Amino acid sequence: MATPVPPPPPASAGGRDSSSKYFDTKRGEVTDLKALLRNQAVERDPRRKREVIKKVIAYMTLGIDVSSLFGEVVMASATTDLVLKKMCYLFLSTYAASNEELATLCINTMTRDCQDSDPLVRGLALRSLSSLGLVTVTEYLLPVLLKGLRDPAAYVRRNSVLAVLKLHNLDKAIVTENGLDDIVTKMLQDPDPQVSASSLMVVAEINIEQGGIQLDRALVIHLLNRIRDYNEWGQSFILHLLAKYRPESEEETFQIMNVLDSCLRVASSAVVLATTKIFLFYADSLRHIKDQIYMRLKQPTLTLMANPSPELRYSVLKHVEIMVTRCPGVFDSEFKLFYIHYNEPSPLKFTKLRILPELANETNIHELVHELTEYVQDVDPEISKRAIIAFGRIAVNIPAGADGIINQLLEFISNIDLDTVRTEAVNVIKDLLRKYPDRSADVLPALPRCLRVIENPTGKAAVIFLLGEFGADMRQTPYLLEGLIASYDDEVSVQVKAALLTAVCKVFFRRPPEVHAMLKRLLTTMLNDTSDTNLHDRALLYYRLLRHDVQEARRCITCAKSPVVEFAEERLSGLKQQLFEEFNTLSILYDKPAEQFVDEKHLETTSIPQLSFAAAAAANAAAAQAAQQNHAQSYDDTAQAYHGNDDDLLGVGGHASPSRQPWSLQANVTLDQETFQTKWEAADTAATLDLPLSSCPPADQVESLAAENRIYCMASGDLGHALKFFFFGRDSNDVLHLAEVQLEKASCQLTATVKSEDPTDAQTFADSFMASLGALL
């Protein structure tokens, strides 16, 4: 039923009239200006002339098109008055692209100025000429540019170096053909730090497609030696590039850190964070002093947080957030600095609410929980919601505090008369009970009340889920569910309806006689409810399952849920790793890797060579050169590679067959005890280790060292004469490795038995375990 498109209403024609009339008045003024510029009297009076040109620039800023004055401005630019000249050049570089033909008129003046005796004029002319952005200009630009790069004045050289970049972006060929890129590369060593820093920026951008600039050792030393000569912009940029450089030895790593230590004491957050990035990367390869490096970084970053500018504080906080998750414990003692201020912008508050739970430990948990309780009562519902989520994080991180937190959440539900608070609290409890199922007895009595008061669908669905999952044995449960079924038609939320179906089924399996009838009623209602296809199909699926085989249905619907060890966002460890590699970029503020928001043309590769543990020995030499071509995958792997290589003296090395993909261990693997036991019993011993340690470390140190290498502890215990551990890890081929480790206290002798799903890589796993204990050998 296409209605005919009406002809353009006359109003639009009228609109055009009026707009052109408006434009005419403006054009009138522009015409006046034109006349003024041609006026002889103005011509002779530099003050008046300045005023007129100033007016032109004012119009330009307002967005009025004054490009018709191009010719007059070109004429005016031929002056000895520098203020006037600068204004003219600003105008010309703004409008050149849209007045290509007329633009050639100014080339003459500008090239002449490039030969001026005053370096300020030469520099200005070079900058303006190269900023015109016209291909037709290139042939005139080239000769003056070649000369400018050798100019005795640093200002001219600096502007020339940037002119090379502008030229490159207009016409790549002309730059390479004339060897301009090589000249600029040589100018990295220019005695003037400004020129040197600019050359670095230019070379890096010219080579962006090849992954940026390639830093070799000589250049690194050169830059480090004079790092304090550069201004903060130069320093930040150099440090940014340095983060890609891998020192060849541990000694060199320390040397670089010593030189850069002074960069942590400056007020510029750009410099401090760029330095921090380098230290953080090094900390990954120097695991035995990782904590010390983080401790060194802690105070400077906290001082940046004291900056009066909320914008800078926000960015620093986001970076602290990454550091806190990367090295838990370091910032704990300073948790009070992360308390919310009543007068700060909400992005800052939200970030603090994400950091605070990560700082909780058994000593400060009480104080922290108390503070968060205050936030729950904040007038801003968003703050109170996020504070409750923070409670959940703490309870997951610190099992000892879980009891208290669940009780606190229950108290919120009964005492705080806000639907948002109740919803969020019951949601968090739902997640927590999956980790601490034995706590369900305390929660269940609160559910009937929750059901009455909570209106939000998410909250309601969470209560229903809890009823089905944990409440099957509670006396009231069938009655509560019956009530919900009765009011099914009043319910609008699909989420609630779906939760109800599952819950009723679960209870049915436990108490068939009581629930049979109501399940039937619910299924009938739902099968007749066609308001939502998914819901309808789900009901149908359940119905058919139940008809087919009740036992089978039971198995499907009440399947055992894996215990929650951490929240889903934590499991995206790959993302976290990627973000970590992009430290000190916008990625950290967006919580997104660069490839998701930067187009290909502007994307800079992280340039960390991909190395595997097994290939370490061979790749170590190559790593220094291969700085960019390989796409970075995981810095962790690189770090391990170096680590492995260090230990090569002990005979650790390439065991993996070359045809398989590089061997590494997956991060954040979880395993439950039962699986461990079954797998352990099923497999044969695939590798053994027998190591003398220099001293007998405490159990938690062994565990944390192993965990850093992604070998996780299932259980540990003290046998009196020895410590006993069970470890597991999953490698990149998805093979599970298990290890039983015994450490004799008296002799410091460590023995390990490794069993694997696939014994091929068992020895590699054993070696990796040994390498992780490197600090104790």
Interface positions, 142-171, toward other proteins (CB under 8 A)? 155, 158-159, 162, 165-166
CA 584 to chain centroid, in Å, comes to: 9
Regarding 204 and contact with other proteins (CB under 8 A), the answer is yes
The residue (of 323 and 500) whose beta carbon lies closer to other proteins is 323
User: Total residues at the site for other proteins (CB under 8 A)?
Assistant: 100
Residue of 208, 696, 707, 748 interacting with other proteins (CB under 8 A): 208
The residue (of 246 and 313) whose beta carbon lies closer to other proteins is 313
Compute and round to an integer the Cα radius of gyration of the chain.
35
From residue 297, alpha-carbon distances to 233, 235, 269, 544 in Å are 21, 18, 13, 61
By CB under 8 A, the residues from 39 to 78 that bind other proteins are: 54, 57-58, 61-63
Regarding 336 and contact with other proteins (CB under 8 A), the answer is yes
Place of tokens 């091929």: 760
H or E stretch covering 740: strand 736-744
Regarding 346 and contact with other proteins (CB under 8 A), the answer is yes
Q: Identify which of 257, 261, 237 has the alpha carbon closest to the alpha carbon of residue 249.
A: 257
Regarding 307 and contact with other proteins (CB under 8 A), the answer is yes
Regarding 258 and contact with other proteins (CB under 8 A), the answer is no
Q: Identify which of 428, 494, 492 has the alpha carbon closest to the alpha carbon of residue 466.
A: 428
Provide the sign of the torsion angle of the four alpha carbons 562, 568, 571, 572, taken in this order.
positive
Count of residues making up the chain: 777
Residue of 43, 252, 291, 334 interacting with other proteins (CB under 8 A): 334
How many Å apart are CA 47 and CA 351, to the nearest integer? 54
Locate 320 and state its tokens.
């602290």
User: What DSSP letter does each residue of 126-161 carry, written as one string?
Assistant: HHHHHHT--GGGHHHHHHHHHHHTT-SSHHHHHHHH
The residue (of 133 and 404) whose beta carbon lies closer to other proteins is 133
Regarding 696 and contact with other proteins (CB under 8 A), the answer is no
Residue of 134, 144, 223, 316 interacting with other proteins (CB under 8 A): 316
Residue of 590, 630, 679, 742 interacting with other proteins (CB under 8 A): 590
Stretch that binds other proteins, among 19-27, 306-314, 552-560, 671-679 (CB under 8 A): 306-314
Residue of 272, 278, 519, 539 interacting with other proteins (CB under 8 A): 272
User: What DSSP letter does each residue of 324-341 carry, written as one string?
Assistant: HHHSTTTTGGGGGGGSPP
DSSP β-bridge partners for residue 122:
none
Helix (H, G, I), strand (E, B) or coil at 715: strand
Min. distance of Cβ 579 from other proteins in angstroms?
12
Min. distance of Cβ 131 from other proteins in angstroms?
8
Regarding 411 and contact with other proteins (CB under 8 A), the answer is no
Stretch that binds other proteins, among 229-237, 428-436, 460-468, 631-639 (CB under 8 A): 229-237
CB 727 within 8 A of CB 769: yes
The residue (of 208 and 545) whose beta carbon lies closer to other proteins is 208
Regarding 358 and contact with other proteins (CB under 8 A), the answer is no
CB 647 within 8 A of CB 655: no
Helix (H, G, I), strand (E, B) or coil at 759: helix
Regarding 299 and contact with other proteins (CB under 8 A), the answer is yes
CA 445 to chain centroid, in Å, comes to: 42
CA 265 to chain centroid, in Å, comes to: 25
Min. distance of Cβ 266 from other proteins in angstroms?
6
The residue (of 269 and 664) whose beta carbon lies closer to other proteins is 269
Task: Quickly count: other Cβ atoms within 10 Å of residue 71's Cβ.
Answer: 15
The residue (of 578 and 732) whose beta carbon lies closer to other proteins is 578
CB 737 within 8 A of CB 761: yes
Helix (H, G, I), strand (E, B) or coil at 78: coil
Stretch that binds other proteins, among 15-23, 584-592, 608-616, 663-671 (CB under 8 A): 584-592
Regarding 289 and contact with other proteins (CB under 8 A), the answer is no
CB 405 within 8 A of CB 440: no
Regarding 248 and contact with other proteins (CB under 8 A), the answer is no
Stretch that binds other proteins, among 437-445, 530-538, 595-603, 659-667 (CB under 8 A): 595-603
Terminal-to-terminal C-alpha distance of the chain: 83
Regarding 112 and contact with other proteins (CB under 8 A), the answer is no
Stretch that binds other proteins, among 141-149, 345-353, 611-619, 729-737 (CB under 8 A): 345-353
The residue (of 185 and 709) whose beta carbon lies closer to other proteins is 185
By CB under 8 A, the residues from 423 to 482 that bind other proteins are: none
Binding mask 383-402 for other proteins (x = CB under 8 A): --xx----------------
Min. distance of Cβ 231 from other proteins in angstroms?
7
Residue of 148, 247, 300, 729 interacting with other proteins (CB under 8 A): 300
Residue of 35, 400, 603, 622 interacting with other proteins (CB under 8 A): 603
Regarding 600 and contact with other proteins (CB under 8 A), the answer is no
By CB under 8 A, the residues from 125 to 144 that bind other proteins are: 127, 131, 133
How many Å apart are CA 653 and CA 650, to the nearest integer? 9
Strands 712-718 and 722-730, sheet pairing: antiparallel
Regarding 350 and contact with other proteins (CB under 8 A), the answer is yes
DSSP β-bridge partners for residue 665:
731
Place of tokens 């390990």: 752
